[in-house]
């Protein structure tokens, strides 16, 4: 949907990355209430084609909802095979709780299954991918379903409509059924005297004396030789560590990260934020220095600091808070926004507003492009066909569109090809539950409360307003309604 946004111009909100949407709302584009008022005036009339509303973080009340007219991305037909822990299953047979194979090679739980009639979303794409002589993989998906592709030594997600013949997608490797089992030889550990297994190829160069690293270290490194195998003694290591810390404290501009940034190297997160500032037209300073501290981005006109935090390096929020206190001591009018990318291993209890003018915007790990090379391999797209699914006679409603909501990972394997699941595009179930986002509104409009004309075409039992399901208004008025709400929000 194209909207005219003051200070930005004509933009398509639904195509913006999550990081850009969150940052826009954090710095003042509050549109939820204004758009909601316009929506209530025009009455909801149908929900059958909209399957997800997008909710993103907000520094004031923790919630913002963007209404979009892009339907849910799905698989066409229930006979597409999904790789599960118990073998192959048709996607129509998948149930909640089943574990399916993902791009990392792990099996993750299905949280929910979605389906609707295919004629309600006719634009589709058929892909034919090489497999072996005389046989290919075939996949039929909606035009906006994302597929993981590889090009020029990098992997990225792309909509099916943008795929081209000759591109490479990731498929399951063909493992010969007659591949032999591994053989092991029994050995005795010279430290703990326990038996352990080892492959014959490992004995080719030198004998194995110890069952593991612990036994090896405890034998080689003892009280009589505490520094054996170390380049520096513990005393030297401690001295060098303290010297290095003091050097960086006195000369913060010599920190390796600062030097790399000055040379033009940026992380993917920083590139996204920088592109957003360019779209808006704001002047910004990269690696701005405040006494001995450097910040990722600083907008002088807004006195706004943007920090891009990875989950691992910023898992200790207390350290970041102490650093923020030092920045605020320099100028009480500063506003600090941390874009913190959530990872369940490290992001345990992130406080969203730990200090005045300091906000942490929780971002999901996004569409990770890592693929397990032991299980998947690149295969070329031999043919791509764009087609419109036609509605069959009234007695036969035709095929269904299916999609799965997977826990933790953004993908699953369908017909041996890695495809995305749209649910994780904007955060996992745990993400929404942990940070207090409501799955359903407090006062939803019920179907019985609508006029007879507005109820036509609505599925039985379907709520016309619910989070994680997109709501459809009159298509001719949709853009006009949202534009009026957006303009009203900006003016206020």
- Residues 79 and 169 grouped into a single domain: yes
Q: Write out the two tokens for 132.
A: 């072996």
What is the band of 128 on the pLDDT scale with cuts at 50, 70, 90? very high
**Among 281, 366, 359, 421, CA closest to 17:** 366
Q: Write out the two tokens for 430.
A: 């745990």
Average pLDDT of the residues of the chain: 69
**Among 317, 389, 343, 312, CA closest to 77:** 389
> What pLDDT score was predicted for residue 487?
59
> What pLDDT score was predicted for residue 226?
66
| Beta strand extents in 274-375 (DSSP E only) | 285-290, 293-299, 304-309, 335-341, 358-363
- Residues 358 and 378 grouped into a single domain: no
**Residue found under tokens 């590889």:** 150
Residue 432 domain-assigned (yes or no) = no
pLDDT digits (tens, 9 = 90+) for 443-465: 344 445 544 544 444 434 333 33
Domain of residue 115, CATH code: 2.170.16.10
- Write out 423-468 in H/E/C secondary structure: HHHHCCHHHHHHCCCCCCCCCCCCHHHCCHHHHCCCCCCCCCCECC
**Among 287, 232, 222, CA closest to 260:** 287
Residue 467 domain-assigned (yes or no) = yes
**Among 321, 317, 320, 297, CA closest to 308:** 297
pLDDT above 90: percentage of residues in the chain = 5
Residue 349 near residue 360 (C-beta atoms within 8 A): no
What is the band of 126 on the pLDDT scale with cuts at 50, 70, 90? very high
Domains in the chain: how many in total?
A: 4
> What pLDDT score was predicted for residue 483?
55
Residue 228 domain-assigned (yes or no) = no
**Among 121, 192, 83, 151, CA closest to 413:** 83
Q: Which of 230-234, 249-253, 334-338 has the highest mean predicted lDDT (pLDDT)?
A: 334-338
pLDDT digits (tens, 9 = 90+) for 53-112: 333 333 333 333 333 333 455 888 888 999 998 888 999 899 988 999 888 778 888 887
> What pLDDT score was predicted for residue 82?
92
Domain boundary among 363, 385, 401: 363
Q: Residue 206 — left, alpha, or beta (φ > 0 → left; ψ -120 to 50 → alpha)?
A: beta
Residue 189 near residue 215 (C-beta atoms within 8 A): yes
Give me the residues paired with residue 109 across strands: 99
Choice among 25-34, 324-333, 392-401, 424-433 with the minimum mean pLDDT: 424-433
Residue 403 domain-assigned (yes or no) = yes
Q: Which of 67-76, 290-299, 343-352, 437-446 has the highest mean predicted lDDT (pLDDT)?
A: 290-299
> What pLDDT score was predicted for residue 229?
65
- Residues 357 and 288 grouped into a single domain: yes
Q: What is the residue range of 98's domain? A: 75-173+374-423
Higher pLDDT, 323 or 260: 323
What is the band of 244 on the pLDDT scale with cuts at 50, 70, 90? confident
Torsion of CA 312, 317, 322, 326, to 10 degrees: 70
**Among 167, 187, 196, 48, CA closest to 114:** 48
Residue 231 domain-assigned (yes or no) = no
Higher pLDDT, 242 or 159: 242
What's the rounded mean pLDDT across residues 298-315?
A: 82
Strands 304-309 and 335-341: parallel
- Residues 341 and 386 grouped into a single domain: no
- Residues 343 and 287 grouped into a single domain: yes
Higher pLDDT, 38 or 138: 138
What's the rounded mean pLDDT across residues 204-232?
A: 73
- Residues 83 and 101 grouped into a single domain: yes
- Residues 110 and 199 grouped into a single domain: no
Residue 241 domain-assigned (yes or no) = no
> What pLDDT score was predicted for residue 127?
92
> What pLDDT score was predicted for residue 383?
92
> What pLDDT score was predicted for residue 347?
66
Q: Write out the two tokens for 75.
A: 């698989």
Domain of residue 321, CATH code: 3.40.960
Residue 368 domain-assigned (yes or no) = no
| Beta strand extents in 205-262 (DSSP E only) | none
Element (H, E) at 111: strand 107-117
Residue 161 near residue 386 (C-beta atoms within 8 A): yes
- Distance in angstroms (rounded) separating the CA atoms of residues 216 and 222: 11
Higher pLDDT, 247 or 268: 247
- Residues 80 and 166 grouped into a single domain: yes
| Beta strand extents in 161-219 (DSSP E only) | 168-172, 185-188, 195-198
Domain boundary among 363, 385, 412: 363
**Residue found under tokens 């929910």:** 112
What is the band of 176 on the pLDDT scale with cuts at 50, 70, 90? low
- Residues 484 and 469 grouped into a single domain: yes
- Distance in angstroms (rounded) separating the CA atoms of residues 343 and 340: 9
Residue 230 domain-assigned (yes or no) = no
pLDDT digits (tens, 9 = 90+) for 13-69: 443 444 555 555 454 444 444 444 544 454 332 323 333 333 333 333 333 333 333
- Model pTM? 0.43
Choice among 35-39, 50-54, 164-168, 302-306 with the minimum mean pLDDT: 50-54
CA atoms in the 13 A half-sphere facing the CB of 484 = 11
Q: Residue 198 — left, alpha, or beta (φ > 0 → left; ψ -120 to 50 → alpha)?
A: beta
Q: Give the chain's length.
A: 492
Report how far apart, in Å, the C-alpha atoms of 315 and of each of 292, 296, 433 are.
22, 18, 20
Q: Which of 147-156, 165-174, 346-355 has the highest mean predicted lDDT (pLDDT)?
A: 165-174
What's the rounded mean pLDDT across residues 381-393?
A: 86
Strands 99-101 and 107-117: antiparallel
pLDDT digits (tens, 9 = 90+) for 396-426: 668 888 888 787 676 889 988 888 875 433 3
CB atoms closer than 10 angstroms to residue 172: 18
Choice among 26-40, 265-279, 319-333 with the minimum mean pLDDT: 26-40
Q: Write out the two tokens for 185.
A: 């030889």
Residue 50 near residue 422 (C-beta atoms within 8 A): no
């Amino acid at each position: 949907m194209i909207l005219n946004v003051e200070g930005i111009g004509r933009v398509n909100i639904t195509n913006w990355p999550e990081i850009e949407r969150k940052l826009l709302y954090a710095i003042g584009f509050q549109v939820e209430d204004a758009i909601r008022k316009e929506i209530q005036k025009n009455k909801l009339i149908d929900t059958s084609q909209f399957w997800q509303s997008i909710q993103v973080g907000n520094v004031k009340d923790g919630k913002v909802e963007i209404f979009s007219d892009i339907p849910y991305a799905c698989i066409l037909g229930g006979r597409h095979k999904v790789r599960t822990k118990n073998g192959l299953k048709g996607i129509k047979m998948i149930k909640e709780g089943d574990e399916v194979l993902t791009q990392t090679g792990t099996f993750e739980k299905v949280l929910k299954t979605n389906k609707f009639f295919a004629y309600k979303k006719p634009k589709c794409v058929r892909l034919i991918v090489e497999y072996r002589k005389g046989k290919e993989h075939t996949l039929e998906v909606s035009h906006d379903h994302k597929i993981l592709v590889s090009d020029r030594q990098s992997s990225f997600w792309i909509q099916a409509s943008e795929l081209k013949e000759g591109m490479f997608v990731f498929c399951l490797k063909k493992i010969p059924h007659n591949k032999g089992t591994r053989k092991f030889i029994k050995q005795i550990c010279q430290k703990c005297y326990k038996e352990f297994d080892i492959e014959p190829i490992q004995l080719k160069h030198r004998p194995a004396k110890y069952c593991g690293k612990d036994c090896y270290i405890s034998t080689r490194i003892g009280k009589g030789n505490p520094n054996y195998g170390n380049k520096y003694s513990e005393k030297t290591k401690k001295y060098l560590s303290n010297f290095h810390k003091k050097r960086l404290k006195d000369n913060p501009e010599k920190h390796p990260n600062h030097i790399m940034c000055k040379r033009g190297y940026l992380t993917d997160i920083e590139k996204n934020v920088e592109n957003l500032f360019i779209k808006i037209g704001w002047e910004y300073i990269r690696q701005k220095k405040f006494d001995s501290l450097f910040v990722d981005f600083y907008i002088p006109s807004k006195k706004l600091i943007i920090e891009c935090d990875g989950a691992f390096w910023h898992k200790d929020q207390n350290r970041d808070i102490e650093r923020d206190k030092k920045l605020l001591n320099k100028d009480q009018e500063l506003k600090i926004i941390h874009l913190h990318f959530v990872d369940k291993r490290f992001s345990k209890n992130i406080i969203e507003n730990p200090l005045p003018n300091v906000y942490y915007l929780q971002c999901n790990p996004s569409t990770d492009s890592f693929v397990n090379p032991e299980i998947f391999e690149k295969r070329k797209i031999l043919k791509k066909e764009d087609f419109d699914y036609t509605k069959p006679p009234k007695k036969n409603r035709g095929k269904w569109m299916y999609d799965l909501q997977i826990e933790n990972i953004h993908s699953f394997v369908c017909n041996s090809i890695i495809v995305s699941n749209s649910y994780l595009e904007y955060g996992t179930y745990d993400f929404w539950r942990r940070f207090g986002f409501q799955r359903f509104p407090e006062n939803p409009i019920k179907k019985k409360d609508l006029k007879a004309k507005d109820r036509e075409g609505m599925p039985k039992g379907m709520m016309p307003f619910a989070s994680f399901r997109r709501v459809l208004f009159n298509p001719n008025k949709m853009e006009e309604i949202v534009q009026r709400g957006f303009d009203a929000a900006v003016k206020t």
